[in-house]
Amino acid sequence: MVSEKLKKIILDALRLEDFDIQDETTASMVPGWDSLSHVKIITAIEESYAIRFKTLEVIRLKNVGQLQRVIDAKS
């Protein structure tokens, strides 16, 4: 399940009012989520959860559900 906290970080970074974000949601489904904003989202997550991703972990991600699991495993 995508937590409210993660959802809010993503929406804030993309400057979106609201968007339905589920486990299966991929970047290409969300307006404005391109390679540039992707970095913004990752650094915003790192700051607010006080964690650090490895580059390979980020590249491997296929959807938001997987992102949530990596965060859960780290925090």
Site for other proteins in 26-45 (CB under 8 A): 35-36, 38-39, 42-43
Which residue, 5 or 60, is less far from other proteins as judged by CB? 60
Using rule CB under 8 A, residue 59 touches other proteins: yes
> Which residue, among 17, 22, 74, has the nearest Cα to 50 in the 3D structure?
74
**Concatenated DSSP letters for the chain?**
---HHHHHHHHHHHT-S-----TT--GGGSTT-SHHHHHHHHHHHHHHHT----HHHHHH--SHHHHHHHHHHH-
Which residue, 4 or 55, is less far from other proteins as judged by CB? 55
Using rule CB under 8 A, residue 50 touches other proteins: no
Return residues touching other proteins (CB under 8 A).
Answer: 35-36, 38-39, 42-43, 53, 55-56, 58-60
